[in-house]
Amino acid sequence: MSGSRLIALLSVVLLLSSCGVDSNKFRLAGRLRNLNQGMFWIYSPDGAIEGIDTIQVRDGRFSYETELRVPATLIIIFPNYSEQPVFAEPGEEVDIKGNASQMKEMIIKGTDDNDAMTELRMELNELMPPEVPKAVAKFINENPKSRVSRYLLQRYFLTDPQANLEQPFVLVSLMQKEDPDDIQLTKWKQELEGLRNGQLNKKLPDFSAKDVKGRDVSPSDLKSKVNVITVWATWNYQSTEIQRRLQRMKKRNGDRLSVVSVCLDADYKNCKQTLERDSVPWKTICDGRMWQTPVLSKLGIADVPGNLVLDDKGVVQARNLNPQKLEEKILQMLR
């Protein structure tokens, strides 16, 4: 082979090897030891993925590719229902490696955000539980513009029913100062200011809205022994799991349990079709305005999934519980 032809061939090989992910796509690939076959679920709290998608695992290996035009946060749900965030960027590929029996030590590499999250997660693994929020707050203070900080704020402060409201308010104020035009940060700050309406041991404030069938919704719909207000969306796995659990409990307990839901889907028709398909019996508010739905700030609910548990006097007994804790709390109050 002549020198010129060899150079041309090498040029083609180098060109092909440099062709990574398309600029409008994101790719995820990985391998987990001690896991032969299985399936993961993946969704985006940003709405970058419509609904919940699946990832098949074969011989411990898996891959996933999706259209993506703006940076997004993806959440992978593993068979044991543990979750891991992946910070996706258009045109990038992220690699996951680990051991299925030691999920906390999973390594996620491929972008600066994923590298930072992996490094922080390894640090948190070495800490006692009471020390974790302090380390997370330190990271947010040092990286107020990072998308990792947004995830951490939600994960450790906004959805923690026991969290002190002052610390997340200080953190989100710092983040908003760095990015004052960000709608999400503005929303969080406003909702944190309003969270006093949903604080524990305080009576639920008055509110009014219309459900998807045009019926009035107000605190008068919550007069049972146990009452729940839940915020959900078809694209959020935990929130739809809460819906399913509430349906089972409602069927078993009848009028002793009352529920009102707020759906954050932008597509009103999609919400209504889901309710009809699943035969949801209680009133559901969905105006297509997502986070701008007025009743959210009124009730002081800052995220999805979000929930309030009330006693028969309308006093808040718990808020923002995960599916298992919510079911346990309801059963405890029904005794």
Q: What is the DSSP string of 197-260?
A: GG-TTSBPPP--EE-TTS-EESGGG--SSEEEEEEE-TT-HHHHHHHHHHHHHHHHHGGGEEEE
CB 68 within 8 A of CB 48: yes
Count CA within 13 A, CB hemisphere, residue 65.
Answer: 10
In terms of average pLDDT, the best of 5-9, 172-176, 204-208, 237-241 is 172-176
pLDDT tens figures, 301-334: 767 888 999 999 988 898 888 899 999 999 999 9
pTM: 0.60
CA 210 from centroid of its chain's CA atoms? 26
Average pLDDT over residues 254-273: 89
Average pLDDT, rounded, for the chain: 87
Share of the chain above pLDDT 90, in %: 52
pLDDT higher at 8 or 233: 233
Query: CA angle, 16 as apex, 32 and 94 as ends, to 5°?
Result: 30
pLDDT higher at 7 or 316: 316
Q: Assign 3-state DSSP to the chain and report helix, strand, coil percentages, each to 5.
A: 45, 25, 35
pLDDT higher at 287 or 19: 287
- Alpha carbon of 9 to those of 14, 17, 111, 318: distances in Å? 9, 12, 31, 67
Q: Which residues pair with 40 in a beta bridge?
A: 55
Q: Quick one: pLDDT band at residue 48, thresholds 50, 70, 90? A: confident
Here the tokens at position 327 are 């079911």
The predicted pLDDT at position 13 comes to 45
Average pLDDT over residues 181-194: 80
The predicted pLDDT at position 149 comes to 96
Q: Quick one: pLDDT band at residue 217, thresholds 50, 70, 90? A: very high
Tell whether the model's pLDDT for residue 18 goes beyond 50.
Answer: no
The predicted pLDDT at position 332 comes to 92
Average pLDDT over residues 48-63: 91
d(CA 271, CA 262): 10
d(CA 123, CA 127): 7
Strand 25-33 with 93-99, pairing: parallel
Tell whether the model's pLDDT for residue 177 goes beyond 60.
Answer: yes
d(CA 167, CA 57): 40
pLDDT tens figures, 224-239: 999 999 999 988 888 9
CA 33 from centroid of its chain's CA atoms? 27
d(CA 68, CA 155): 23
The predicted pLDDT at position 1 comes to 54
- Alpha carbon of 290 to those of 129, 247, 322, 334: distances in Å? 33, 23, 21, 32
CB 60 within 8 A of CB 31: yes
The predicted pLDDT at position 163 comes to 62
pLDDT higher at 295 or 332: 332
Query: CA angle, 61 as apex, 151 and 85 as ends, to 5°?
Result: 0
pLDDT tens figures, 135-169: 999 999 999 999 999 999 988 988 765 566 778 88
pLDDT tens figures, 57-107: 999 999 999 999 999 999 998 888 788 999 999 999 999 999 988 888 899
